[in-house]
Amino acid sequence: MPTYGGDDVNALVIDIGSTWTRAGFAGEDLPKAYFPSHAGYIESEIEVAETSDEPKEPTATNGDTGSDKDVEMADEAQTDKQPVMRKKKTRKYYVGDTESAAWRAGMEVSGPLKQGLVEDWDMYERIWEYAVKTRLHVKSEEHPVMVSEAAWNTSAHRAKLVEMAFERFSCPAFYVCKTPVLAAFGTGKHTGLVLDVGGDMASACAVSEGFCLTKTICKQELGGELVSQQILEKLKQENSYELTPLFDIKSKAPVDILQKPAILRYGRQGTTESYLQDMRLRAVQEFKESTCEILERPYDEGVAAGRPLKPFEFPDGFNMSTGSLRYSVPEILFNPEKFMVSRPKSLEGVPLVGVHDLVINSATASDVDLRPQLLSNMVLAGGSTLFPGFVDRMTVMLQNGIPGGRIKLHAPSTNTERKVTAWLGGSILASLGTFHQLWISRAEYEEHGAAIVDKKC
C-alpha cells in the first residue's frame, strides 16, 4: 500500500471498457463500482465572446460545477479588439446505469472508446470523475490511480492519460497498465497468452514476465455487442420482430408465442436513434446471456437443432422458444464470415477470423522458445467468453489448430470474476509492496512531463 503524506492510502483501480466500467480500491476482491461505459449527453449551443482571430477550443471544467463543458472566455482587458460572439457546442452528460438509461428528449448515447482506444476524451473524463466522486466517494487528489489501456494504445494517448491524471484530477501518483498484463495478473500469472473477448473488441496477446509482446497482438472489432446486434437483426429477418424497449411501453397485454406484441406506446417525441439502439441492446443482452451458447464442437446445424428449446419473453411481451438461433448467432465469434447475419458498415471489407485463430496467430507470432509456456498458460478474459460451451469449444479448436501443443486454458471460475479479471489484476498489482517504486509520482511528472509515462509504464 503506498504511503502519501504519512498515511497509508488505497490506490484506485479504474478499468473503463467499451461497454462496462469497473472501479474500486486496490487490494479488494471486486470493484465497488460496475456500471455501463455508455453515457447519455444532450448537446446545445452557447455563445461565447472571443477576441483572437483563431477560435479557442472549449476546455473541460474542474468537475465541481455540474456536467456542462465550460468555455474559456476571452479576456477583454488583454486586447483592444472587439470581442466576437461565436457559437460553441456544449454537452450535459448523464453517466451511470440509471442516468444513462433514463429517457430524455434529444439525449444521445455513446461510449468513449473506439476500437479499444479513447476517442471521446471529454466523455472518458466524465466516466473517470463519476467513478471516483459519485461511486467510490473519494477525492482524486488523495489516491494514486491505476487505469487500464488496450495493448495497442499509442504514446500520444498515454500522454493524454497521464496529463488527465495530474492536471485534471490532481492525482498524487498514477500508473497505466495494459489490459492483457492485468488479466494475466488477475489469474495469478506473469507469463501467458491472454484472449480477451469484451464488448467491442476481441484480442489475443502474449505476456512475458509482466510485459506485453507487441508483435503478438492480434485483434479485431468483434465482441459481444456485435453478437447482440446480430440477434436483433436475426429476429427482424426471421420473425419480423423489432424490440420495443421499456421506456416506450405504456402498457402491454400477454400474447401467444411468436405473435406481434400487444403494446401501447408512449411515442416519445425527441427520442434519438442512438438512445433507442442502446436501449434495444441492453434489452437483448438478457436474452443473449440467458439463452445463447456455443457448441462444444465445430458447428453442426443438426446438433444445434437437436438441443432443448429455451423459452424467453422480451420486455414488450414478444415470446418465443429459441432453438438453433441461440447457437448460430454467437457462432460468429468462432466463424464470423459464415455466421454474420448482417455486416456492420465498420467491418465492410475487413477480413475477420474466429477467436481461436486470434490465439493461434498470436502464439505463432511469439518466439518458438516461449511458445510452450504460452500454450500451457492461456488466459480467458472478458464477458463474451462466458457463453456456456466457450471454454470446451476453444480447447477443441486449439487442439485441432496446434497439434501436439500442450494446451491449458485458465479462466476464473465464476462469471463475476471473468467480467472483472483485468480489474482484479490491477487490484493485486497496485497493492503489492514492491509496486511502490513503479508509480509515476507528481514530482516525476512535474520534472519530466507526460513523456515519463513511456519510461515508467
Ligand X SMILES: Nc1ncnc2c1ncn2[C@@H]1O[C@H](COP(=O)(O)OP(=O)(O)OP(=O)(O)O)[C@@H](O)[C@H]1O
By CB under 6 A, name the binding residues for ligand X. 17-20, 37, 113, 116, 196, 198-201, 223-225, 285, 288-289, 382-384, 386-387, 415, 419
Q: Can you give the length of the chain in residues? A: 457
Taking the complex as a whole, the smallest distance from the CB of residue 52 to ligand X amounts, in Å, to: 39
For ligand X, give the closer residue by CB, 289 or 296. 289
Nearer to Mg ion, 17 or 354 (CB): 17
Closest CA to 146 of 30, 23, 19: 23
Residue number, 422 or 452, with CB nearest to Mg ion: 422
Beta carbon of residue 153, minimum distance to Mg ion (angstroms, whole number): 13
Window 17-76: residues binding Mg ion (CB under 5 A)? 17
CB of 407 to ligand X, least distance (A): 22
Pick the stretch among 111-119, 192-200, 260-268, 292-300 that binds Mg ion (CB under 5 A): 192-200
Residue 58 contacts which entry, ligand X, Mg ion, none (Cβ below 5-8 A, type-dependent): none
- Name the residue with cell 479499444: 116
Q: Which does 383 bind (CB under 5 to 8 A by kind): Mg ion, ligand X, none?
A: ligand X
Smallest distance, Mg ion to C-beta of residue 410, A: 17
Residue 386: contacted member of ligand X, Mg ion, none (CB under 5 to 8 Å, by partner type): ligand X
Q: Which CB sits closer to ligand X, 4 or 327?
A: 327
**Total residues contacting Mg ion (rule CB under 5 A)?**
2
How far apart are alpha carbons 209 and 115 in whole angstroms? Answer: 26
Instruction: Work out whether 198 is an interface residue with Mg ion (CB under 5 A).
Output: yes
Q: Which does 207 bind (CB under 5 to 8 A by kind): ligand X, Mg ion, none?
A: none
At residue 37's C-alpha, the angle toward residues 412 and 11, to 5°, is 65
* Minimum distance from residue 37 beta carbon to ligand X (Å): 6
CA distance 363 to 358: 9
Instruction: Please identify, using beta-carbon distances, which residue of 200 and 331 lies nearer to Mg ion.
Output: 200
Write phi, then psi, for 178 (nearest 5 degrees). Answer: -70, 140
Applying CB under 5 A, does 116 fall inside the site for Mg ion?
A: no
Contact 70, 46 (CB under 8 A): no
Residue 356 interacts, among Mg ion, ligand X, none and using kind-specific CB cut-offs from 5 to 8 Å, with none
- Binding of Mg ion by 192 (CB under 5 A): no
Smallest distance from the beta carbon of 192 to ligand X, in angstroms? Answer: 17
User: CB of residue 315 vs ligand X: minimum separation in angstroms?
Assistant: 16
CB 179 to Mg ion: min, Å: 6
Q: Which stretch binds Mg ion (CB under 5 A): 63-71, 197-205, 337-345, 393-401?
A: 197-205
Report in angstroms how near the CB of residue 228 gets to ligand X at its nearest: 6
In angstroms, the CA 161 to CA 33 distance is: 21
x/- letters, 3..22, toward Mg ion (CB under 5 A) = --------------x-----
Say how many C-beta atoms besides its own lie within 10 A of residue 223's C-beta.
Answer: 25
Rounded to whole angstroms, how far apart are CA atoms 93 and 96? 10
Of 243 and 379, which has the nearer Cβ to Mg ion?
Answer: 379
**Segment lying near Mg ion (by CB under 5 A), choices 131-139, 191-199, 248-256, 342-350:** 191-199
State the residues that interact with Mg ion by CB under 5 A.
17, 198
